[in-house]
Amino acid sequence: MAVSNPTLYLLSFLLFSISLTPVIASKSSYVVYLGAHSHGLELSSADLDRVKESHYDFLGSFLGSPEEAQESIFYSYTKHINGFAAELNDEVAAKLAKHPKVVSVFLNKGRKLHTTRSWDFLGLEQNGVVPSSSIWKKARFGEDTIIGNLDTGVWPESKSFSDEGLGPIPSKWRGICDHGKDSSFHCNRKLIGARFFNRGYASAVGSLNSSFESPRDNEGHGTHTLSTAGGNMVANASVFGLGKGTAKGGSPRARVAAYKVCWPPVLGNECFDADILAAFDAAIHDRVDVLSVSLGGTAGGFFNDSVAIGSFHAVKHGIVVVCSAGNSGPDDGSVSNVAPWQITVGASTMDREFPSYVLLGNNMSFKGESLSDAVLPGTNFFPLISALNAKATNASNEEAILCEAGALDPKKVKGKILVCLRGLNARVDKGQQAALAGAVGMILANSELNGNEIIADAHVLPASHISFTDGLSVFEYINLTNSPVAYMTRPKTKLPTKPAPVMAAFSSKGPNIVTPEILKPDITAPGVNVIAAYTRAQGPTNQNFDRRRVQFNSVSGTSMSCPHVSGIVGLLKTLYPSWSPAAIRSAIMTSATTMDNINESILNASNVKATPFSYGAGHVQPNQAMNPGLVYDLNTKDYLKFLCALGYSKTLISIFSNDKFNCPRTNISLADFNYPSITVPELKGLITLSRKVKNVGSPTTYRVTVQKPKGISVTVKPKILKFKKAGEEKSFTVTLKMKAKNPTKEYVFGELVWSDEDEHYVRSPIVVKAA
């Protein structure tokens, strides 16, 4: 990418609007959401044209003429989602919002993008051998399941998307390969579809040139996520020889489709609502089975969030939508993508690390990590300097210690190992700034917030990332020593790390601030140092100065854990094509574990026991998910009733769904929503809630066991559920009661497990706070 500086885009946008916009009420780009369509699945182009015309007529009645409407509308959502995106002035937008046919009107906002050892770690293979108990064998590696990805597009030439050995494209597929103006872009029997959506982005940045007319991934993110979900097996994958192994996705024999909705960032956002909705509408039409969505904004309402709206329509059509929880941890309440029809995924480590030891002149040594290909020359120690002491005269202390651009004095840095503090600018940017200032190497120290969370990046210079406490020791050594020196060893690949998984500090956490009665995230999966395919348009650090090109790169984020679950969903879809998205989510959640690989409770990055607010039901266990025993099912009506319970307007709910659905007259309690986790955010004395489970195994008898949250008594009725056949459903109630008179007003955690004492442990977290 020639330009990655967001300010450049902003600047061109401002110039554009100043020079071309006449001095009348300024327009903004809006999404006008009209709910669902009444037409069926098989659409004729006449149907689609009719919808477009109806949008022109409808908006035209506000603007004066259909022609004017046609000019301001830049998307008509015609297939499954009903609505349009248009340039409107605020008064018209406000009037539209009041019209009874309109569910919501919202600004076209930007959203963030939030080898692979991980499958070994998850038990799908053992040293490259796939045991017969693996879901991979049983689900034929996700054969012919179709996984779509809303992201930065795809690098189609990557070996992860080669179609060698794959049969014809599944006949149900309706998608296309829209290569736009990029004639070098090709699909095949693996990458069966690609589309790009840039009009919402264009309305924010101004007109776009031809390089934006392509689904090609010039960033790396989309190639990485899509190959993690459904990439082929590619032998001898590594990052500069580290982490060598066979790269593969969770559903390695799935077919994949890329929906490019994210572009170079403007003010930190790269994916716009209007484009996201258009992509969902297309993907539903194209008949994907799974949608992987590693992006999101701040959690808010369900009718003005493009990802929530798009996901609803997809789930209604049986498509499972998997979303990332966000990278805004470890703050409480930071989780996004909280709709109960989405699967929301947090991120944790796997049992592999890339140690690069930091040795100090006082004989202390610390285990850091790195994936840098550059190594220090020779074995001599180098002078060590804290970035604070290498401050440029015009920089602030903070800018200096963070190693921001222009904040370092090259005269002080040259030939030394520089210590930078994590935070604000990208880790790999700090490496680049260190290199530009002439450092021979960089030690990257965590701030307290990041704890022990160490990330191995492919820095442009020799580097090692160390924990907060180790960083303190390094700074102390520098402070107390006249001529401090240090050395860093060449990174190696080491397994198995214990304990693992550990929750990533960046992984966004509950409670769910929109509907605290629904626990989010739902699950955690590997999202730290994940190696998968990458773009060749950029180097592994995505920095302008990085001229290196890699086939595979290590990236971290909930963006990386999300497609792990998407790949696992692909396998479950192959095994159980008729299961609802909720049944698949239930199988994944109730079979998860809260234990790590030393059989202790999963920790967070400060060595403290993590909670369901970090990992939801726990760490995903794909082999167990294929045989969940019981499932907590939900259908579209249940989701609509959920919206009724939240107090959304009944009229809007019925337009939203177009199912002639009416909210029930009786009050609905969110506590009874048949979710696989139980959350009561304001317990006043006592509550009795209900759940219903469906037997998806053989006839058997389940007994309940409960681990009570501290200070809460839990009574389950009945305690035994006897199932005579598969498909049978049974209800039970759970009564939660406060034991203490003056309970602590903090969240407490427990669990409820239905077990047939054989192979099934159907586990649900219980999360309670006294009112």
Binding site for ligand NAG (CB under 6 A): 2-3, 106, 209-211, 236, 238, 241, 300-301, 304, 330, 362-363, 392, 394-395, 399, 406-407, 451, 472, 475-476, 479, 505, 599, 604-606, 608, 667
What's the min distance (Å) between Cβ of 279 and ligand NAG? 20
Among residues 21 and 211, whose Cβ is nearest to ligand NAG? 211
3 state SS of 700 = strand
Q: What contacts 204, CB < 8 A, 6 or more positions away? A: 13, 29, 108, 110, 266, 272
Q: What contacts 42, CB < 8 A, 6 or more positions away? A: none
What's the min distance (Å) between Cβ of 361 and ligand NAG? 7
Distance CA 323, CA 333 (A): 17
Among residues 556 and 604, whose Cβ is nearest to ligand NAG? 604
Among residues 300 and 499, whose Cβ is nearest to ligand NAG? 300
What's the min distance (Å) between Cβ of 305 and ligand NAG? 7
- Of 364, 160, 290, 375, residue with least CA distance to 585: 290
What's the min distance (Å) between Cβ of 488 and ligand NAG? 17
What is the phi/psi pair of residue 651, to 5°?
-65, -45
Please say if 638 is a catalytic residue: no
At 50, which helix (H) or strand (E)?
A: helix 45-63
What's the min distance (Å) between Cβ of 301 and ligand NAG? 2
Please say if 559 is a catalytic residue: yes
3 state SS of 444 = strand
Beta strands in 361-474 (DSSP E): 365-369, 382-386, 417-421, 441-445, 463-466
Among residues 63 and 234, whose Cβ is nearest to ligand NAG? 234
Instruction: Write b or e for each residue in 601-638: b if 16 or more Cβ atoms lie within 10 A of its Cβ, otherwise e.
Output: ebbbbbeeebbbbbbbbbbbbbbbbbebbbbbbbebeb
**Catalytic site residue from 72, 334, 559, 586:** 559
Among residues 571 and 605, whose Cβ is nearest to ligand NAG? 605
Distance CA 72, CA 31 (A): 12
- Of 493, 526, 5, 34, residue with least CA distance to 309: 34
What's the min distance (Å) between Cβ of 445 and ligand NAG? 10
Half-sphere exposure of 317 (CA within 13 A, CB side): 26
Q: Which two tokens stand for residue 464?
A: 């090692």
What is the phi/psi pair of residue 681, to 5°?
-80, -15
Q: Do residues 79 and 40 lie in contact, with contact meaning Cβ atoms separated by under 8 Å? A: no
- Kindly list the distances between the CA atom of residue 562 and the CA atoms of 294, 296, 345, in Å, as whole numbers in the listed order: 6, 12, 5
Q: What contacts 561, CB < 8 A, 6 or more positions away? A: 324, 345, 346, 347, 348, 507, 524, 525, 526, 527, 530
**Catalytic site residue from 37, 120, 144, 151:** 151
Between β-strands 630-631 and 686-695, what pairing exists: parallel, antiparallel or unpaired? antiparallel
Among residues 389 and 541, whose Cβ is nearest to ligand NAG? 389
What's the min distance (Å) between Cβ of 364 and ligand NAG? 9
What's the min distance (Å) between Cβ of 591 and ligand NAG? 16
3 state SS of 594 = coil
At 716, which helix (H) or strand (E)?
A: strand 712-717
Among residues 79 and 221, whose Cβ is nearest to ligand NAG? 221
Residues in the chain: 771
Among residues 142 and 330, whose Cβ is nearest to ligand NAG? 330
What's the min distance (Å) between Cβ of 65 and ligand NAG? 29
Distance CA 192, CA 472 (A): 51
What's the min distance (Å) between Cβ of 257 and ligand NAG? 25
Q: In what order do the strands lie in the sheet with 191-196?
A: 191-196, 255-260, 146-151, 290-293, 320-324, 343-348, 523-526
Among residues 444 and 571, whose Cβ is nearest to ligand NAG? 444
**Residue with the CB atom nearest ligand NAG in the bound state:** 301
Among residues 394 and 482, whose Cβ is nearest to ligand NAG? 394
What's the min distance (Å) between Cβ of 747 and ligand NAG? 10
What's the min distance (Å) between Cβ of 406 and ligand NAG? 3
**Catalytic site residue from 221, 224, 313, 465:** 221
Q: What contacts 325, CB < 8 A, 6 or more positions away? A: 114, 335, 336, 337, 344, 345, 346, 347, 507, 508, 509, 520, 521, 558
Q: Do residues 361 and 481 lie in contact, with contact meaning Cβ atoms separated by under 8 Å? A: yes
Instruction: Write b or e for each residue in 492-515: b if 16 or more Cβ atoms lie within 10 A of its Cβ, otherwise e.
Output: ebeeebebbbbbbbbbbbbbbbbb
Among residues 424 and 608, whose Cβ is nearest to ligand NAG? 608
Among residues 403 and 460, whose Cβ is nearest to ligand NAG? 403
Torsion 560-562-563-565 (CA) sign: positive
3 state SS of 676 = coil
Q: What secondary structure does DSSP assign to 81-147, as a single string?
A: EEEEEEEEEHHHHHHHHHSTT-SEEEE--EEB---TTHHHHTTS-BTTB--TTSHHHHTGGGTT-EE
Distance CA 568, CA 124 (A): 10
Catalytic sites, residue numbers: 151, 221, 559
